[in-house]
Amino acid sequence: MRALRVHERGGPGHLIEEEAGIPQVGIGDVLVRVHAASFTPTELEWPSTWVDRAGRDRRPSIPGHEVSGVVTALGYGTTGLAIGDAVYGLTDWYRDGSAAEYVAVEARNLARKPDGLDHRTAAALAMVALTAQQALFEHGGLAPGQVVAVLGAGGGVGTFAVQLARAAGARVVAVARPWAGDLLRELGADVFVDVDRAPLPEVDLMFDLIGGETLRRACGMVRAGATVVSAVEDPPVDVNRRGRFFVVEPSRPQLEELGKRVVAGELRPVVGATWPLKQGREAFEAKHRGAQPGKAVLLVSEES
Ligand SMILES: NC(=O)c1ccc[n+]([C@@H]2O[C@H](COP(=O)([O-])OP(=O)(O)OC[C@H]3O[C@@H](n4cnc5c(N)ncnc54)[C@H](OP(=O)(O)O)[C@@H]3O)[C@@H](O)[C@H]2O)c1
């Protein structure tokens, strides 16, 4: 099969599209013929991109942990999905990913793709929907009428978080670079603030997608009693502010529910750009250069 692979560290310049073996299905897995895939720009810095769960070097590795495609084989003991099912979801961080013609995934991490959701939208949905849902409601406890600030709101997760928070009756402060202003207002942000001039005193919950100095500065601005949830690193909070870092969990029920809301037109994953698999390196490089709204999607088969 054709796959985007990385043999050595050092950023997206090391990604190459080449021939690779079709992955073996394990117990409880399905083999998915990939129609569309997506990725998180920081993946090549994650330890799990380079080692398996036992800590063994697993290079060359295939990036991309968001998939939409069709089941072509079942592993031993796999239940709940059948050959021919169209599915979408997250793949394991510690195994080869979805930037390839086939990927092996635990069946329980996938949901059936509704007919009204095309493969490219489904691939763009899995990571952003689950991350935003879990950050805002499970970790952040967001309630109607509260004020939430989303830091890094113009990217994949941020554009979805703004819509989810707004749909839940929260007031949304989108903190992003100026290029993202029009898009974020269109998606329902009540207030758009340039990241360098963010006034955050009224915020009940801050959802961070940037980390570093920006997160530190923002933590210093939110009021006592506010909650800070970061998808990037442990937030520097004190006794007056609750804070936590979290890693998204696969969830078939949440994907099914959020998929229905997308089909109903209530939520929209933002697909900023699409690329053929053979230009996967360019897709990563474009996201690294910045100013790319929403998700970049790799189109792997004709049907996508
Ligand atoms: N813990 C988890 O489970 C989990 C899950 C998903 C994602 N994440 C993490 O969450 C982060 C966001 O993911 P994503 O897929 O949404 O990435 P993305 O599409 O690249 O979005 C990040 C956004 O933040 C903006 N940004 C970055 N640095 C900034 C700065 N200093 N000031 C202002 N804006 C800045 C970017 O703007 P520019 O493009 O202009 O730089 C971009 O719009 C990544 O670090 C990713 O690894 C974690």
Averaged pLDDT, 92-121: 98
Is 132 found in the same domain as 107?
no
| Percent of the chain whose pLDDT exceeds 90 | 89
Tell me if 166 is assigned to some domain: yes
In this predicted structure, what is the pLDDT of residue 196? 64
Q: Tell me how far the alpha carbon of residue 106 lies from the centroid of ligand 1, in angstroms.
A: 27
Is 237 found in the same domain as 133?
yes
- 240-275 pLDDT, tens digit each: 778 999 999 999 999 999 999 999 999 999 999 999
In this predicted structure, what is the pLDDT of residue 89? 98
Q: Tell me how far the alpha carbon of residue 174 lies from the centroid of ligand 1, in angstroms.
A: 13
* Cα 218 from Cα 35, distance rounded (Å): 39
- Which residue puts its alpha carbon closest to atom 25 of ligand 1? 152
**3-state secondary structure at position 182:** helix
Tell me the pLDDT band of 195, cut-offs 50, 70 and 90: low
**3-state secondary structure at position 303:** coil
Mean pLDDT of the chain: 95
- Which residue puts its alpha carbon closest to atom 26 of ligand 1? 152
In this predicted structure, what is the pLDDT of residue 223? 87
> Where does ligand 1 bind, in terms of residues with CB under 6 Å?
40-42, 127, 131, 152, 154-158, 176-177, 180, 195, 209-210, 214, 231-232, 246-248, 287, 290-292
Could you give the residue ranges of the DSSP H alpha helices within 36-140? 119-133
- Is residue 43 over pLDDT 70? yes
Averaged pLDDT, 134-160: 97
CB atoms < 10 A from the CB of 31, how many? Answer: 21
In this predicted structure, what is the pLDDT of residue 198? 59
Tell me if 258 is assigned to some domain: no
**3-state secondary structure at position 200:** coil
Residue 26 backbone class (left: φ over 0; alpha: ψ -120 to 50; beta: rest): beta
Averaged pLDDT, 160-179: 96
Is 139 found in the same domain as 239?
yes
Give the distance from CA 34 to its chain's centroid: 17
- Is residue 303 over pLDDT 70? no
Is 89 found in the same domain as 52?
yes
Domains identified in the chain, total number: 2
- Which residue puts its alpha carbon closest to atom 21 of ligand 1? 155
Cβ-contact 65, 97 below 8 angstroms:
yes
Tell me if 254 is assigned to some domain: no
* Cα 249 from Cα 243, distance rounded (Å): 18
- Is residue 159 over pLDDT 70? yes
Averaged pLDDT, 287-293: 97
User: Beta partners for 100?
Assistant: 3
Averaged pLDDT, 84-89: 98
The domain in which residue 40 lies consists of 2-113+270-299
Tell me if 265 is assigned to some domain: no
In this predicted structure, what is the pLDDT of residue 241? 77
In this predicted structure, what is the pLDDT of residue 280? 98
Could you give the residue ranges of the DSSP H alpha helices within 208-298? 212-221, 252-263, 280-289
Q: Tell me how far the alpha carbon of residue 229 lies from the centroid of ligand 1, in angstroms.
A: 14
Is 94 found in the same domain as 138?
no
Is 241 found in the same domain as 135?
yes
Instruction: Give this prediction's pTM.
Output: 0.97
Q: Is the bond into 60 cis (omega within 30 degrees of 0)?
A: yes
DSSP 283: H
Element spanning 245, H or E? strand 242-245
- Is residue 199 over pLDDT 80? no
In this predicted structure, what is the pLDDT of residue 194? 75
Is 150 found in the same domain as 226?
yes
| Percent of the chain whose pLDDT exceeds 70 | 97
- Is residue 304 over pLDDT 70? no
Averaged pLDDT, 127-141: 98
Is 197 found in the same domain as 162?
yes
Q: Tell me how far the alpha carbon of residue 88 lies from the centroid of ligand 1, in angstroms.
A: 22
Tell me if 250 is assigned to some domain: no
In this predicted structure, what is the pLDDT of residue 175? 93
> Mean pLDDT lowest for which of 127-131, 222-226, 277-281?
222-226
In this predicted structure, what is the pLDDT of residue 56? 98
Tell me if 179 is assigned to some domain: yes
Averaged pLDDT, 111-131: 97
